[in-house]
Amino acid sequence: MANLKVNIGRLALKNPVMTASGTFGYGLEYADFFPLETLGGIIVKGTTLHPREGNDYPRMMETPHGMLNCVGLQNKGVDYFCKNIYPQIRSLGTEMIVNVSGSSPDDYAECAARINELEDIHAIELNISCPNVKDGGMVFGVTTAGARSVVKAVREAYGKTLIVKLSPNVTDITEIAKACEDEGADSLSLINTLMGMSIDIERRQPNLSIKTGGLSGPAVKPVAVRMVWQVAHAVKVPVVGLGGIMTAADAIEFLMAGATAVEVGTANFIDPAVTPKIIKGIDEWLDSHGCHSVQEIIGAML
Cβ-count burial of 35 within 10 angstroms (0-12 exposed, 13-18 middle, 19+ buried)?
exposed
For 101, 180, 195, 274, the CA distances from 270, given in Å and listed in that order, are 26, 33, 22, 8
User: Any alpha helices (H) in 56-158, and if so which ranges?
Assistant: 78-80, 86-89, 105-116, 138-141, 144-157
- State the angle between helix axes of 105-116 and 144-157 in degrees (0 to 180), rounded to the nearest 10: 30
| Catalytic-labelled residue, pool 70, 82, 111, 130 | 130
Residue type, 224: A
> Of 64, 130, 80, which is closest to residue 102 (Cα–Cα)?
130
Please name the residues in contact with 138: beta carbons below 8 A apart, sequence gap of 6 or more. 129, 130, 131, 167, 169
If residue 96 lies in a helix (H) or strand (E), which one and from where to where?
strand 95-100
Phi-psi region of 22 (alpha: psi -120 to 50; beta: other; left: phi over 0): left
Is 111 a residue of the active site?
no
Is 176 in a helix, a strand, or coil?
Answer: helix
Q: Could you give the residue numbers annotated as active site?
A: 130
